[in-house]
Every structure is written in structure tokens, then in C-alpha cells.
């Protein structure tokens, strides 16, 4: 997790980092509000941040080698750690409780230029709710190796897919 002021730097690293990432490591670049938790530095709590989130489904030594590059960026909070996949899947449930009104939009993009990141940061700073987020998922790997007509999922050649998540409760 990084201060939002580092978004262009972190996104630049991220777009290069994921270009050749192993299939075992699925990641996203997220723009969201840091939770008010003891493991988050005080200056980031309840503030907009950018984070690299992911799940490595391979050997722990391989995961650590891939994480070393992210750690070299000196994140304000490093929350990567071993956990069961089911725990990873439920990790974000508390942030999206039932009963709220959510609005999702998404799409695909061929890249992640700095001007796009600057627009995302502007949108995150102006969002109507601290609960609204933006996620940029890397594609490629196995996803790109399936033929365009082989499944109902299109745009397999996109570099990234994104989600804009609106949530008026905060």
C-alpha cells in the first residue's frame, strides 16, 4: 500500500512488472481508502491510497522472489503473506457488506499510460464516497492464450481489465 501521491510511480512500475508475470501470480492495482486498522500507518488510515494486491498460487519461494520487486518500492504497508485461498477470497467481504447500493462499471484497456493514472487519481480524490474504488487487473498469461472464440469471454488480448466501483455508503 502506497500514498496516493505515488500513484504514477507505482502504476509505472506495475505496468512493466506485470508484462511478464508468471501465470501463478494474479494481481491488481487498486485505488481505494486505507482501512482504519492498526497494521496501517496512521497517516494513511482513512486516506485514498494505491495498492498492489495479489494472489500467488505456486511455491512460496517463487512468490517471495516475485514480491521482492514490489518490496523494493518501499510500500507504506506490506500486507502480503501466506493464507488459504478461501481466506483470500473472503478478505474483502467486510468492505462490501450486504444492503448497500453498489454500482459497477468495467471494461478493457490496451495499456496504462501515466495520463490514465492521473485521471484515475483525480477521480479517486473527487469520489462522492470513501467506499468507492477503482481496480486495474492485469490480463495476459493463460487468459490471453485461449482463442477469442473458445469461450464467452471477449477481449482476451487486452493488457488490463478495470472495474469502477461506486458505493455511496461510507
Does residue 44 or residue 84 have the better pLDDT? 44
Grid coordinates representing 12 are 509505472
Average pLDDT over residues 3-24: 93
d(CA 44, CA 35) in angstroms, rounded, equals 8
pLDDT above 70: residue 170: no
Beta strands, E only, 20-91: 25-33, 48-56
Q: Per-residue pLDDT tens for 69-104?
A: 999 999 999 988 888 888 888 888 887 888 888 899
- Residue 101: how many other CB atoms lie within 10 Å: 8
Give the pLDDT confidence score for residue 148 in this predicted structure. 78
Give the pLDDT confidence score for residue 128 in this predicted structure. 85
Domains of the chain: 2-167 (3.40.462.20)
| pLDDT bucket at 12, cuts 50 / 70 / 90 | very high
Across the chain, what does the average pLDDT equal? Answer: 90
Q: Report helix, strand or coil for 90.
A: helix
Amino acid at each position: 500500500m502506497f500514498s496516493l501521491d505515488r500513484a504514477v510511480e507505482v502504476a509505472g512500475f506495475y505496468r512493466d512488472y506485470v508484462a511478464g508475470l508468471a501465470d501463478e501470480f494474479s494481481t491488481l492495482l487498486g485505488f481505494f481508502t486505507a482501512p482504519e486498522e492498526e497494521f496501517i500507518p496512521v497517516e494513511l488510515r482513512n486516506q485514498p491510497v494505491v495498492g498492489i494486491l495479489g494472489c500467488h498460487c505456486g511455491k512460496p519461494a517463487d512468490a517471495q522472489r516475485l514480491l521482492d520487486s514490489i518490496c523494493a518500492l518501499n510500500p507504506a504497508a506490506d500486507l502480503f503473506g501466506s493464507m488459504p485461498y478461501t481466506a483470500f477470497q473472503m478478505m474483502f467481504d467486510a468492505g462490501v457488506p450486504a444492503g448497500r447500493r453498489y454500482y459497477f462499471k468495467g471494461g478493457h484497456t490496451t495499456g496504462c499510460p501515466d495520463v490514465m493514472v492521473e485521471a484515475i487519481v483525480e477521480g479517486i480524490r473527487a469520489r462522492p464516497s470513501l467506499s468507492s474504488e477503482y481496480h486495474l487487473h492485469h490480463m495476459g498469461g493463460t487468459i490471453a492464450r485461449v482463442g477469442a472464440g473458445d469461450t464467452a469471454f471477449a477481449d482476451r488480448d487486452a493488457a488490463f481489465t478495470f472495474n469502477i466501483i461506486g458505493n455511496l455508503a461510507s
